């Protein structure tokens, strides 16, 4: 499908009201500016068209590989970037400033496919898959959610049996980002004792299919589908040997949720930037609308929330580097950023008046995307309950 290039100049600049750039190294700033340039060249001129046409631009996968968006924290010996978590966060922020669906592609590949292979895989698995995933030669997906088990993945029904020289995998996964285009899937399934394990399933294995999910009004430039396993023979060497139990997929989710905490603030910054510019250009009652107190209130509150979230994310990045960040700290940041971004998208949309509902401006697309982001990787309420359990010591999930 050909993509229509929008005729506009992307002048995005991120707000830095508290001089938080002082907390970044020169390398961080260089990484941010190279990904920002990439997004301005390869994503923002086309994204409204892709989203409108519900088109996943397959060619973006190799380009993400070239710019280093896949597996930035994975060591260089496996093709990753060997970078710290602040760098990873900044990359996700810039990519999601372009579009949450594009960030989905990148964060699934890095945190949910490369990370489990790196952290739980054998040396052979790491050498076989990681360099190709890092370069974008291969695309991966992560299968945890099932039709009957979303917020409670421990109830999963997908299972495998030991058949001597291979495993026999049966079941189905739903709502899987990248699945229709993925070359490999990291799939979580129960063995005969009911213990959860990760398996690497490759496209082309008999009995494995990836039907696309249609009718989404959100993340329209990201491709979502199912994973269906009907007596799939999975070679024994494809089981991830390093970790089992629910903690294995949850450990990957910690990394991906961290990326979303930064990413959603990228979307918020894009909406704020657009609203600020529009408020100075649009004249009503003989003045730019930015001269009215109610518009200034909206802009001031947006900047305040972005600044608070930037600080939270930066500190979380430090704790990630030190290996000290807890699941509930990550939940707080993911939940906060998505809520901030959704509120800012709505307020920025209002500042644009009627024009705000068109694809001339990014808010409606961000707003619709964020309705998925608030649900996936743990819903808004599940993150609230993770925090509630941390505070009280009483899990209220069940
Ligand atoms: P619970 O009893 O709390 O825990 C069971 C075992 O798991 C361990 N665990 C963790 N380990 C490491 N890191 C974490 N974050 C962990 N969370 C839990 C826990 O220690 C325990 O281990 P053990 O050895 O004691 O048995 O589990 P629960 O069944 O009560 O569930 C808790 C709950 C609800 C918080 C959890 O299941 C949850 O977070 N649910 C949300 C599901 C979710 O986030 N799904 C995401 C699917 S992937 C996705 O959405 C990708 S979208 C990507 C994109 O496009 O960008
Ligand atoms: P449910 O779990 O049925 O929840 C429905 C509602 O009930 C929610 O409001 C929830 O908060 C509430 N609820 C549930 N349990 C409780 C409770 N104990 N207490 C209070 N409220 C509760 N999954 C993957 O594995 N891989 C992917 O790549 C992936 N990509 C996705 C892409 C998109 C676009 C979307 C929309 C989802 C994706 N998901 C993926 C699935 C996603 O993680 C799930 O949608 C999410 O975990 C919620 O599960 P559910 O949709 O089944 O909702």
144: Cβ below 6 Å to ligand 2?
yes
Does the pTM surpass 0.85? The reply is yes
397: Cβ below 6 Å to ligand 2?
yes
**Dist CA 304 CA 327 (whole Å):** 25
Q: What is the pLDDT of residues 272-299, one digit of tens each?
A: 999 999 999 999 999 999 999 999 999 9
**Dist CA 148 CA 155 (whole Å):** 8
378: Cβ below 6 Å to ligand 1?
yes
Pick the CATH number of 20-135 from 1.10.1740.10, 1.10.540.10, 3.40.50.740, 3.60.15.10: 1.10.540.10
279: Cβ below 6 Å to ligand 1?
no
- Helical spans, DSSP H, in 246-362: 247-281, 293-321, 327-351
Which ligand ends up closest to the CA of 111? 1
187: Cβ below 6 Å to ligand 2?
no
- Average pLDDT of span 166-181: 98
CATH architecture, domain defined by 247-392: Up-down Bundle (1.20)
Q: Which atom of ligand 1 is nearest to the CA of 378?
A: 44
- Average pLDDT of span 178-192: 98
- Average pLDDT of span 48-77: 98
| Percentage of residues of the chain with pLDDT beyond 90 | 97
- Average pLDDT of span 59-63: 98
Give the Å distance between the CA of 144 and the centre of ligand 1. 10
The residues assigned a catalytic role are 377
Q: What is the pLDDT of residues 344-356, one digit of tens each?
A: 999 999 999 999 9
212's CB contacts (< 8 A; 6+ apart) are 179, 180, 223, 224, 225
Q: Tell me, what's the pLDDT at 235?
A: 98
The β-bridge relationship of strands 140-143 and 184-190 is parallel
**Dist CA 256 CA 110 (whole Å):** 8
Give the Å distance between the CA of 165 and the centre of ligand 2. 35
Give the Å distance between the CA of 74 and the centre of ligand 2. 28
Give the Å distance between the CA of 98 and the centre of ligand 1. 29
343: Cβ below 6 Å to ligand 1?
no
Which ligand ends up closest to the CA of 253? 1
Pick the CATH number of 140-238 from 2.40.110.10, 3.20.20.100, 1.10.357.10, 2.40.50.140: 2.40.110.10
- Average pLDDT of span 338-365: 98
145's CB contacts (< 8 A; 6+ apart) are 153, 173, 174, 175, 176
Domains of the chain by residue range: 20-135, 140-238, 247-392
């Amino acid at each position: 499908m050909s993509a229509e290039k929008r005729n506009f100049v992307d002048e995005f600049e991120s707000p830095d009201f508290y001089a938080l750039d002082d907390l970044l190294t020169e390398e961080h700033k260089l990484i941010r500016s190279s990904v920002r340039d990439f997004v301005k060249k390869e994503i923002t001129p086309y994204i409204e068209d892709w989203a409108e046409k519900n088109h996943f631009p397959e060619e973006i996968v190799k380009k993400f590989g070239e710019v280093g968006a896949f597996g930035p924290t994975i060591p260089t010996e496996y093709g990753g970037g060997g970078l710290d978590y602040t760098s990873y966060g900044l990359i996700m922020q810039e990519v999601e400033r372009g579009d949450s669906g594009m960030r989905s592609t990148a964060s699934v590949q890095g945190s949910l496919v490369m990370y489990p292979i790196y952290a739980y895989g054998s040396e052979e698995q790491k050498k076989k898959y990681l360099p190709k995933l890092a370069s974008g030669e291969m695309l991966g997906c992560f299968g945890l959610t099932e039709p009957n088990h979303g917020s409670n993945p421990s109830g999963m029904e997908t299972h495998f049996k030991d058949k001597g020289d291979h495993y026999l995998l049966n079941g189905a996964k739903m709502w899987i980002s990248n699945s229709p285009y993925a070359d490999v899937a990291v799939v979580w399934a129960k063995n005969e004792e009911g213990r959860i394990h990760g398996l690497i399933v490759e496209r082309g294995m008999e009995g494995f299919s990836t039907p696309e999910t249609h009718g989404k009004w959100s993340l329209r430039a990201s491709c979502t589908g199912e994973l269906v396993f009907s007596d799939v023979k999975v070679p024994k060497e494809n089981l991830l040997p390093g970790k089992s139990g629910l903690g294995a997929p949850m450990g990957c989710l910690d990394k991906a949720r961290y990326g979303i905490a930064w990413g959603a603030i990228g979307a918020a910054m894009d909406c704020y930037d657009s609203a600020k510019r529009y408020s100075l250009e649009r004249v009503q009652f003989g003045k730019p609308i930015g001269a009215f107190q109610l518009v200034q209130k909206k802009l001031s509150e947006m900047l305040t929330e972005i600044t608070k979230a930037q600080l939270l994310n930066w500190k979380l990045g430090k704790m990630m580097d030190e290996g000290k960040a807890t699941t509930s700290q990550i939940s707080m940041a993911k939940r906060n950023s998505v809520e901030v971004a959704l509120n800012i998208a709505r307020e920025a949309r209002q500042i644009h008046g009627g024009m705000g509902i068109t694809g001339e401006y990014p808010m409606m697309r961000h707003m619709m995307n964020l309705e998925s982001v608030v649900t996936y990787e743990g819903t808004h309420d599940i993150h609230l309950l993770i925090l509630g359990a941390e505070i009280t010591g009483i899990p209220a999930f069940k």
